[in-house]
Amino acid sequence: MAKKQFKAESKRLLDLMINSIYTHKEIFLRELISNASDATDKLYYNAMKDGKTGITRDSLPIELTLDKENRRFVIEDHGCGMTAEELESNLGTIARSGSLAFKKENQDQADIDIIGQFGVGFYAAFMVASHVEVVSRAIGSDQANRWESDGTAGYTVTPCEKEENGTRITLTIKENTENETYDEFLEPYRIQALVKKYSDYIRYPIKMDMIRSRMKEKPADAGEDYQPEWEEYTENTTLNSMVPIWKKSKKDLTEEEYNSFYTSKFYDYQPPLCHIHSSVEGAVTYTAMLFIPAHAPMDYYTKDYEKGLQLYSNGVLIMDKCADLLPDHFSFVRGMVDTADLSLNISREMLQHDRHLKAIAQSIEKKIKSELLKMQKDQREEYEKFWKAFGRQIKYGAYVDYGAHKDLLQDLLIYHSSTEDKLVTLEEYVSRMKEEQKYIYYACGETIDKIKLLPAMETLRDKGYEVLCLDDNIDEFCIKMLASYQEKEFKSIADADLGLESEDEKAEIKKLTEENETLLAALGTALEGKVKKVELTGRLKSHPCCLRAEGPVTLEMEKVLNQQALDDSQRVHAERILELNAEHPVFKKLCELQQQNSDKVAVYAEILYTQALLIEGLPVDDPVSYANAVCGLIS
Ligand SMILES: Nc1ncnc2c1ncn2[C@@H]1O[C@H](COP(=O)(O)OP(=O)(O)OP(=O)(O)O)[C@@H](O)[C@H]1O
């Protein structure tokens, strides 16, 4: 059976092209400039191939002219131009890309940067123009031709005059409607901004007349009361930077150049802490220029912050914030990636989720990590600045997704050390561990100073053991998710068994507990509803008592989660155990009172419990009765 060709309803197709592909009308400029650049590239490469000298990229500008009064916007290039047949086939056939054909024919050219591939970009002009005129003269031809169209109604091609080769596209910008404004595309500053945004790295100068103002020269006969006068003048200005800084060789760039590029590109008033500039060739080929800012933007820890890297393909901006290139834990990184290895979708506004993008993202993640580790090792002060700004994001990254990224991130963590009195890495801690030390100890609290005063700290201090002091809300959640580091388990100093007591000491506590069963039960009864039980402990030195939690919710977690609770139903409660120091005179006193059957036992139980709450930084339900009890003791 004979195969039949699909037919297309060309008017409908063009209407779809114009109205459905792009989400932003402004894209028309990127498309027309990219076409002009492709046409100029073709001329330039052919000239190089034919050995013509004297042609430089600078001598082949793309010129923009605005005529607000007549609502005209002209884009003119000095490229290869089109013959009448080419105008017919390239602009009269939807999805025919002369540029793609050229690229295929010249695949062996290393330095070829042709952008067009789908054969649809040109029609974006009709998003903003009611009429499009293309006057073109192909290189090597004397005859120019005019292609004209009002959009879906069709087009005409007629011979005309044009002095030089190249293409001049004249758009008649649409009138504003109730819902849409088009006037912006006749404003020089708006056009300048669009060129900067999408076409900054087109390799040919994009020029436009800009109105500037300057102070008039002071007349020679100006009197004392002369006031300076200003005048406007027109300056033909190059709008684009042309050569992307990341395409330059690292050795040709100074620190100042990196810094000033960063501050101007990302509107930061502070230079970055460091930059990563790398060109990768292999399974994926890309150039990346990444920066680690010195401070967190105002909205960084809010939902408004949008992560992502700028994504360029052949010097044209595809996406301003490509989120897929950055994992959440490195969302603070700013910068850009330039690659030709992408499956762009037809609008160039989106990417097909392709494996290249994934591979680039993975490679970038590794680079950021190794750069941070390098900074941690060689520039600790800078790293601490980084940590202050973004440490929380790293900790959060290690915690989320059930610790899926903990192996990647754990070496980046730093915590305050009780013995070193500075921030230390887990590796540094482990390397200092005593031979008999089983655990990595940590303590949680509101501030480092308060943590150092916790009762259980004394015992560890006496043993000369280092304790990591965790003063950020997320810390304990993160540490619990890590569970261990280099096979050493983490241990909270609030745990019942710190692994410090000998078997004899444990037996002694057990014996004392049995002997004082009645006292402990009486204390438990006095604190019913507040603590689960009262126990003796050997982990205290000079303090008479402390609280610990039993079960999955720790005292610190209770504090953190309750701070975030919106109502009572979201509040959590840690199961409390009041621990008494069996060696402390207070305990001895309690024993005596119990023997005398004194009802002071219940009063003292309250006082000790409240004291333990205060030390832990937990709220006291009835501060007045505590104050009265203490006053009673004094008087
Ligand atoms: N200024 C120009 N000078 C010379 N040829 C041009 C010019 N503009 C467009 N063309 C020709 O018209 C063709 C179609 O252009 P169009 O913008 O629709 O698609 P494209 O640039 O090939 O692909 P894409 O849709 O990916 O941008 C181009 O491939 C090119 O051959």
Best residue for ligand 1 mutational test, from 38, 102, 123, 318 (most atoms within 8 Å of Cβ)? 38
- E-only strand ranges, 339-480: 414-417, 423-425, 439-444, 467-470
Residue 528 CB coordination number (10 Å)? 8
C-alpha 530 to ligand 1 mean position (Å): 78
**What backbone torsions phi and psi does residue 128 show, to the nearest 5 degrees?**
-120, -15
Best residue for ligand 1 mutational test, from 22, 90, 169, 345 (most atoms within 8 Å of Cβ)? 90
Q: How far apart are CA 557 and CA 573, in angstroms?
A: 9
For residue 372, tell me if it sits in a domain: yes
Q: How far apart are CA 201 and CA 238, in angstroms?
A: 12
How high is the pLDDT of residue 353? Answer: 61
How does strand 414-417 pair with strand 423-425? Answer: antiparallel
Q: How far apart are CA 433 and CA 428, in angstroms?
A: 9
* 178 shares its domain with 49: yes
Of 81, 85, 74, the closest CA to residue 40 belongs to 81
Best residue for ligand 1 mutational test, from 33, 88, 99, 123 (most atoms within 8 Å of Cβ)? 99
C-alpha 87 to ligand 1 mean position (Å): 10
C-alpha 338 to ligand 1 mean position (Å): 22
C-alpha 117 to ligand 1 mean position (Å): 8
**How far is the CA of 485 from the CAs of 438, 442, 454, 479, 553, in angstroms?**
12, 13, 24, 10, 22
* 148 shares its domain with 274: no
How high is the pLDDT of residue 422? Answer: 96
Longest dimension (CA), the chain: 121
Q: How far apart are CA 224 and CA 3, in angstroms?
A: 91
Atom of ligand 1 nearest to the CA of 31: 27
Q: How far apart are CA 357 and CA 465, in angstroms?
A: 47
Instruction: Return the sign of the alpha-carbon dihedral for residues 382, 383, 387, 389.
Output: positive
For residue 199, tell me if it sits in a domain: yes
Residue 365 CB coordination number (10 Å)? 18
For residue 222, tell me if it sits in a domain: no
C-alpha 512 to ligand 1 mean position (Å): 91
**What backbone torsions phi and psi does residue 514 show, to the nearest 5 degrees?**
-65, -40
Alpha helices in 50-143 (DSSP H): 84-86, 92, 98-105
Atom of ligand 1 nearest to the CA of 98: 31
Atom of ligand 1 nearest to the CA of 80: 4
* 156 shares its domain with 273: no
* 510 shares its domain with 423: no
C-alpha 351 to ligand 1 mean position (Å): 21
C-alpha 98 to ligand 1 mean position (Å): 6
In tens, the pLDDT along 382-401 reads 999 999 999 999 999 999 99
* 493 shares its domain with 525: no
* 50 shares its domain with 178: yes
Q: How far apart are CA 97 and CA 95, in angstroms?
A: 6
For residue 227, tell me if it sits in a domain: no
Complex ipTM, two decimals?
0.98
C-alpha 499 to ligand 1 mean position (Å): 74
C-alpha 466 to ligand 1 mean position (Å): 68
Best residue for ligand 1 mutational test, from 74, 91, 97 (most atoms within 8 Å of Cβ)? 97
* 578 shares its domain with 627: yes
Q: Which domain holds residue 313?
A: 245-378
- The number of domains in the chain is 4
For residue 83, tell me if it sits in a domain: yes
Question: What is the Cα 171 distance to its own chain's centre?
Answer: 39
Of 404, 276, 273, the closest CA to residue 335 belongs to 276
C-alpha 161 to ligand 1 mean position (Å): 22
User: In the listed set 499, 515, 536, which residue is the last one of a domain according to the structure?
Assistant: 499
Contact 302, 288 (CB under 8 A): no
* 511 shares its domain with 483: no
Q: Whose CA is nearest to atom 10 of ligand 1?
A: 35
Q: How far apart are CA 540 and CA 547, in angstroms?
A: 11
Q: Which residues contact 232 (CB under 8 A, 6 or more apart)?
A: 211, 212, 213
* 514 shares its domain with 479: no
**How far is the CA of 629 from the CAs of 519, 595, 605, in angstroms?**
20, 21, 11
Q: What is the CATH classification number for the domain harbouring 471? A: 3.40.50.11260
- DSSP element (H, E) containing 567: none
Contact 139, 80 (CB under 8 A): yes
For residue 160, tell me if it sits in a domain: yes
For residue 384, tell me if it sits in a domain: no
* 484 shares its domain with 521: no
Residue 233 CB coordination number (10 Å)? 9
In tens, the pLDDT along 69-103 reads 999 999 999 999 999 999 999 998 887 888 888 88
* 109 shares its domain with 206: yes
Q: Which residue has the tokens 């730093």?
A: 414
For residue 234, tell me if it sits in a domain: no
Percentage of the chain modeled with pLDDT above 70: 98
Q: Which residues contact 26 (CB under 8 A, 6 or more apart)?
A: 185, 194, 198
Atom of ligand 1 nearest to the CA of 96: 14
C-alpha 14 to ligand 1 mean position (Å): 15
User: In the listed set 499, 525, 544, which residue is the last one of a domain according to the structure?
Assistant: 499
Atom of ligand 1 nearest to the CA of 134: 1
Q: How far apart are CA 277 and CA 371, in angstroms?
A: 11
DSSP assignment of 301-322, as one string?
A: TSTT----EEEEETTEEEEEEE
Q: Which residue has the tokens 């819902």?
A: 179
C-alpha 196 to ligand 1 mean position (Å): 21
Atom of ligand 1 nearest to the CA of 348: 26
Q: How far apart are CA 152 and CA 483, in angstroms?
A: 66
How high is the pLDDT of residue 135? Answer: 98
- DSSP element (H, E) containing 63: strand 62-67
C-alpha 100 to ligand 1 mean position (Å): 9
How high is the pLDDT of residue 467? Answer: 97
Q: Which residue has the tokens 């002095």?
A: 163
Best residue for ligand 1 mutational test, from 122, 145, 149, 342 (most atoms within 8 Å of Cβ)? 122
* 93 shares its domain with 153: yes
- As for ligand 1, residues whose beta carbon falls within 6 Å of it are 31, 34-36, 39, 77, 79-82, 90-91, 97-100, 116-122, 167
How high is the pLDDT of residue 104? Answer: 84
User: In the listed set 449, 484, 499, which residue is the last one of a domain according to the structure?
Assistant: 499
Q: What is the CATH classification number for the domain harbouring 319? A: 3.30.230.80
Amino acid at 266: F
Q: What is the CATH classification number for the domain harbouring 524? A: 1.20.120.790
Q: How far apart are CA 95 and CA 117, in angstroms?
A: 9
How high is the pLDDT of residue 223? Answer: 84
C-alpha 35 to ligand 1 mean position (Å): 5
Q: Whose CA is nearest to atom 9 of ligand 1?
A: 35
Contact 59, 51 (CB under 8 A): no
Best residue for ligand 1 mutational test, from 30, 33, 35 (most atoms within 8 Å of Cβ)? 35
List per-block mean pLDDT (blocks of 10 residues) for the chain, which spans 635 residues.
74 79 90 96 89 85 97 97 95 84 78 79 94 96 95 90 96 95 96 94 95 91 88 95 88 93 92 95 90 94 93 87 94 94 72 79 96 97 96 96 94 97 97 93 94 90 94 94 96 87 88 93 93 90 90 86 84 91 92 89 93 90 90 87
